Amino acid sequence: MFKQVNLLILFLLGAIGFILSSESGAARRGLPLVSDTMQNVRINSDNTTQIQNEEMIAINPLNPDQVVAVWRDFRLGYRRVGYGYSINGGASWTDALFFSGAYFPDYFWESDPGLGVDKNGNFIAHTLCIDPVNNSSDICVYRSIDGGQNWSAPTQVVGADFGFEDKQWMATDRSSSANTDNIYFAWTRFPDFANTRIMFAKSEDTAQTWSYAQLSDGINSVQWPTVTVDDTGKIYVAWGRYSPPSIRMRTSLDGVSFTSEQTVVSTQAAFTTLKGSVGTFSFAALEADISDSSPFQGNVYIAYMDKILGDADIYFIKSTNRGVSWSTPLRINDDASSNGKDQFHPWLSVNEDGVISVIFFDRRNDAANLYYDLYLTQSFDGGSSWTPNLRISNASSFPETQLSASLIAGFDPEKQPISASPLAELLGEYIGVSSVDRQVNMIWTDTRSGNQDAYGSRFSGFYPPVLQAPANGANTSDKTPQLQWLSVPAYDTASTFNLQIAGDPNFSVVETTITGLAVNSYQIDTLNYLSNGIHYWRVKGFDTGGDSSLYSKPFSLTVYTEGDANSDGIISLSDVIFLVNYIFKSGSPAPVPLIAGDPNCDNQITLSDVIRLVNYIFNKPGDWAPCTHT
């Protein structure tokens, strides 16, 4: 008889529920992106709709306020190379264009810029100077002794026509070895635009004269070399091989004799076209730790893109024995793996304390995997672990921006190599980062103005705290939970913290702000307990000098009462009606969280839960109180 009464009540309430609850739950809408408040500065000053891309940046190690940048620049309607200098750490810039044609009349195009700085604070820029009429090229080298304000006349690395020289890279020896101040170049030679080979050049007289070596066999297709020098003066040259796809390397102690070619790591492909016609290479962003003050001096690092999990990710490998062997690849972008979101165009820098900074383009914020942002991650332990990825760009960029018709009119890709084309990949092929002490300057291709521009930002090494517990997305019936976080070891050690709690992920309406916390946790008290529903919390750190980090990315926490299916804070017939509709009526909203509608704790919502609530509400004898989920 008791069971029959319960069922009668159930069906009566169910009928009422169908009448009272006629609308289905509203579809969940996408939430606006929470952006970090990093300063972004446009570096090129032109207001044309032409494109700027393929950027590099360098900080003067003797004066970190002095920063220089270079980029590929089409402001005049054809490819040139722009340069900019800043005397305030990258907050503002002055820019102009190189012009190799003033010195070498046939080479009136310039492209593929790179940049370095020697141990004395002199900047060295290099460009691919191109004769577009005869499809030939050379490497032009410029020097500046005044922070990039003025530049020497260019010198040429090759000085003869051996075909098309492409995608050069440079390293300066900043060690205290016998090779100190040497300049090294590696590049790809296209003889008759076939049978590519990796070439190498060395200068011992500030880029005036050169000696040469060929590093690859000229049979297997290769491209995109990079070069670095370690603290002993040892030279490392890495490049991409198409078949089998891999990153290859040779090393040398003198720039004359090289070790045999070795495979550093296998890749899924040497070249990949990502969504939006974005061409990407699995090149080696390569740098050695040369600093006497670094605990990791002598390590050599590579960051690269690969698609072994389906979408493009950024991987990191290192050698702790001067290139003899390499570590297992470590994925360093921290979004969910195989989520269909691409990361690409990595670059890497190591500062004098051994801190590794890696930047890359990232599409995690776009469900369509098209818009991209710039992200940064750092390692303070020689590449074993990495800080949470930090969004640097405060506006997402769209890659398929309109290109000027003057750039593409009359271009025939069958007659010109990609490196001589007006486009040479939609977004260019690389971006840049440089780090000195706590300062990290970055440069990238940004389309927020409707065309491609060179944008920069400086990060000063104070990471936001890392939220720990409750875990992001956690559900709890505890209205006074303890919130916990960790400081990221960096140049500034947080001594106090500010905590904010809000009802929305944008923190447009802040419920609670707690300031001056001297510990890495906060216990919510009974006088200020959390109400039922979704709460968002975040933390920022302050050092003893008053400098602060950004706020952490917020965690969400859903507070609920067992049996309170409709989240109104009480258990009543409304919850019974809510559950009846959820069980029987298609489209009715679900309890939030789902376990709030599971008062018998069997991890499913059925009629048994409705019966339990009815008996509890009407004080039927027996243990009908909602259980506690664990």
Judge whether residue 41 has pLDDT over 50. yes
The backbone region for 264, taken as left when phi is positive above 0, alpha when psi lies in -120 to 50, beta otherwise, is alpha
Distance (Å, whole) CA 272 – CA 144: 36
Residue 580 in tokens: 């009846």
Among the residue ranges 284-293, 304-313, 485-494, the one predicted with the least confidence is 485-494
Give the model confidence (pLDDT) of 154-186 as tens digits: 999 999 999 899 999 999 999 999 999 999 999
Q: What angle do CA 277, 279, 281 make, to 5 degrees?
A: 160
Average pLDDT, the chain: 89
Judge whether residue 14 has pLDDT over 70. no
DSSP codes of every residue in 19-34: HH--SPPPPPPPPPP-
- Shared-domain flag, residues 190 and 309: yes
Tell me what pLDDT residue 425 has: 66
Cis? peptide before 329, omega within 30° of 0: no
DSSP codes of every residue in 66-83: EEEEEEEE-TTSS-EEEE
- Of 413, 433, 423, nearest in space to 358 by CA: 433
Tell me what pLDDT residue 370 has: 94
- Of 571, 579, 591, nearest in space to 21 by CA: 579
Judge whether residue 601 has pLDDT over 80. yes
Tell me what pLDDT residue 49 has: 87
Distance (Å, whole) CA 117 – CA 573: 73
Tell me what pLDDT residue 82 has: 98
Q: What mean pLDDT is predicted for residues 468-472?
A: 96
Q: What mean pLDDT is predicted for residues 227-247?
A: 98
Distance (Å, whole) CA 203 – CA 181: 9
Q: Does residue 362 contact residue 333 with C-beta atoms inside 8 Å?
A: yes
Residue 457 in tokens: 């930002």
Q: Which of 459, 488, 513 is the last residue of a domain?
A: 459
Q: What are the CA-CA distances from residue 232 to residues 178, 179, 228, 383 (Å)?
A: 8, 8, 12, 21
Residues whose CB falls within 8 Å of the CB of residue 479, separated by 6 or more in sequence, listed in order: 524, 529, 530, 531, 559
Classify residue 627: in a domain, yes or no. no
Q: Does residue 70 contact residue 85 with C-beta atoms inside 8 Å?
A: no
Residues β-bridged to residue 280? 272
Residue 418: phi and psi, rounded to 5, are -55, -35
Classify residue 15: in a domain, yes or no. yes
- Shared-domain flag, residues 393 and 510: no
Cis? peptide before 244, omega within 30° of 0: yes
Amino acid at 239: W
Band (pLDDT 50/70/90 cuts) for residue 23 is: very low
Tell me what pLDDT residue 354 has: 97
- Shared-domain flag, residues 481 and 421: no
Specify the higher pLDDT residue, 443 or 277.
443
- Shared-domain flag, residues 353 and 489: no
Q: Residue 108 gets which letter from DSSP?
A: -
Residues whose CB falls within 8 Å of the CB of residue 274, separated by 6 or more in sequence, listed in order: 280, 312, 342, 344
Classify residue 34: in a domain, yes or no. no
Classify residue 249: in a domain, yes or no. yes
Residue 121 in tokens: 């604070």
Give the model confidence (pLDDT) of 293-323 as tens digits: 999 999 999 999 999 999 999 999 999 999 9
- Shared-domain flag, residues 330 and 402: yes
What is the Cα 360 distance to its own chain's centre?
Answer: 4
Count, in order, helices (H) and strands (E) of the chain: 4, 38
Q: Does residue 586 contact residue 24 with C-beta atoms inside 8 Å?
A: yes
Give the model confidence (pLDDT) of 46-96 as tens digits: 999 889 999 999 999 999 999 999 999 999 988 999 999 999 999 999 999
- Shared-domain flag, residues 451 and 471: no
- Residue 353's SS3 state is coil
Classify residue 35: in a domain, yes or no. no
- Shared-domain flag, residues 294 and 362: yes
Q: Give the other-Cβ count within 10 Å of 18's Cβ.
A: 15
Judge whether residue 590 has pLDDT over 70. yes
- Shared-domain flag, residues 537 and 595: no
Q: What mean pLDDT is predicted for residues 478-502?
A: 92
Q: What angle do CA 522, 526, 532 make, to 5 degrees?
A: 90
- Shared-domain flag, residues 533 and 388: no
Residue 268: phi and psi, rounded to 5, are -70, -35
Specify the higher pLDDT residue, 171 or 35.
171
Handedness of CA 593, 597, 598, 603 (dihedral sign): negative
Distance (Å, whole) CA 270 – CA 221: 10
Q: Given the structure tokens 């409707």, which residue do they identify?
A: 450
- Shared-domain flag, residues 430 and 492: no
Among the residue ranges 105-114, 143-152, 287-296, 565-574, the one predicted with the least confidence is 565-574
Q: What mean pLDDT is predicted for residues 212-216?
A: 97
Residue 189 in tokens: 């030679």
Distance (Å, whole) CA 566 – CA 592: 8
Q: What angle do CA 567, 570, 576 make, to 5 degrees?
A: 75
Q: Which of 531, 553, 575 is the last residue of a domain?
A: 553
DSSP codes of every residue in 234-295: -EEEEEEETTTTEEEEEEESSSSSBPPPEEEEE-S-SEEEETTTEEEE---EEEE---TT-T
Containing domain of residue 22, as a range? 2-27+561-617
Residue 112: phi and psi, rounded to 5, are 45, 55
Q: Residue 579 gets which letter from DSSP?
A: H
Host H or E run for residue 613: helix 607-617
Band (pLDDT 50/70/90 cuts) for residue 423 is: low
Q: What mean pLDDT is predicted for residues 37-44?
A: 88
- Shared-domain flag, residues 380 and 514: no
Distance (Å, whole) CA 216 – CA 219: 8
Residue 17 in tokens: 């529920």
Classify residue 120: in a domain, yes or no. yes
Classify residue 378: in a domain, yes or no. yes
Label each residue of 303-330 as H, E or C. EEEECCCCCCEEEEEEECCCCCCCCCCE
Q: Given the structure tokens 């707690």, which residue do they identify?
A: 514
Classify residue 388: in a domain, yes or no. yes
Beta strands in 312-430 (DSSP E): 313-319, 330-331, 343-350, 356-362, 373-379, 390-391
Q: Which of 499, 521, 553 is the last residue of a domain?
A: 553
Residue 258: phi and psi, rounded to 5, are -120, 150
Tell me what pLDDT residue 535 has: 96
Tell me what pLDDT residue 56 has: 98
Distance (Å, whole) CA 393 – CA 83: 21
Q: Does residue 338 contact residue 270 with C-beta atoms inside 8 Å?
A: no
Band (pLDDT 50/70/90 cuts) for residue 7 is: very low
**Which CATH number belongs to the domain containing residue 159 in this structure?**
2.120.10.10
- Shared-domain flag, residues 368 and 455: yes
| Structural domain count, the chain | 3
Among the residue ranges 193-197, 223-227, 245-249, the one predicted with the least confidence is 193-197
Amino acid at 170: M
Residues β-bridged to residue 171? 184
Residue 279: phi and psi, rounded to 5, are -85, 130
**Which CATH number belongs to the domain containing residue 517 in this structure?**
2.60.40.10
CA atoms within 13 A on the CB side of 611: 13
Band (pLDDT 50/70/90 cuts) for residue 37 is: low
